[in-house]
Amino acid sequence: MTAVLLALVAAVGYGVSDFVGGVASRRVAALRVVIVSYPVSVVVVAVAVPLVGGSPTPSSLVWGALSGVAGGVAVWWFYLALAGGPMAVVSPVTAVLVAGVPVVIGLAVGERPSALAYVGIVAALVAVVLVSRESPDEAAGEVAGGRVLRFTPRIALLTVASGVAFAATFVCLDQAGGDDTGLWPLLASRLAATALVWIVALSTRAFSAPRGSVLHLAAGIAVLDVVANAALLFAFQDGLLSLTSVIASLYPAATVLLAMVMLGERVGTVQKVGMVVALGAVALIAGRG
């Protein structure tokens, strides 16, 4: 049960972070937000490391760094896919890969959830697809903007690659965790991710930092990112990869709910059904025995 609650905290943290990141990205390019939020997250983790305690091991630092690289690459490819492809296809395909790949890996290495948990996993996979569908407001915006966005082979490759890379962050974080490693793997993750996004930003000449209210939003994203990743790191220590990762993958539900409440965006029937299915999935997995 502890792992389920921590995974839910991670899902909410990721979802709120995505919402805040979406608001910030409406004012400035997404890459200019993460080049601030990632370094701030390093500082936040560095402050928290001695408070949590634990000692790093070489393997935990390597796996932590790999999770950071995978996360940085995933964000980069995902934004490229969204920039040139239809969100109604890119988002749900990415979401189901984020949820599904760790489940497959977990089962492949010998994890055997209960029959009830298997039903919850299937329900969660369905939920992330439904919740990640385009909202009516987003669909109308694309039509009004006159954009013709096709799911070309290049966009398909970026979409699949970003989904697999996002999933890899979960798998690597699962491997990085240990009973006495504390937050050291997360520090390695944030350092690696920061180095990667700055290399990308410098290579694309997008290294100017946001200012004013966007800077505050970037700092908020950093804190949410740390909370979500720390919760997931500890959740993996107490739970199965296949179950913990699929709950954390329900983060789009929090993003959609915030967009509906805070921005007044219309939420389609399909997305509402997805949020209900997500609640049922969590209940099934939490009651696995």
Return the structure tokens found at 49.
């490391």
Kindly list the distances between the CA atom of residue 175 and the CA atoms of 17, 112, 161, 236, in Å, as whole numbers in the listed order: 24, 18, 21, 9
Residue 187, pLDDT > 70, answer: yes
Per residue in 197-238, pLDDT tens? 888 777 766 555 556 666 777 788 889 989 999 999 999 988
Find the helix or strand (DSSP H, E) in which 27 lies.
Answer: none
Q: Are 277 and 126 in contact (CB under 8 A)?
A: yes
Look at the chain and report how many structural domains it folds into.
1
Helical segments of the chain, H only: 2-25, 30-52, 58-84, 87-108, 115-131, 136-144, 153-176, 184-203, 213-238, 241-248, 251-262, 269-286
The one-letter code for the residue type at 91 is S
Per residue in 1-49, pLDDT tens? 688 899 999 999 988 887 877 666 555 566 667 788 889 999 999 999 9
Q: Residue 244: give the domain boundaries.
A: 2-286
Share of the chain above pLDDT 70, in %: 84
Residue 288, pLDDT > 60, answer: no
Return the structure tokens found at 277.
């299915």
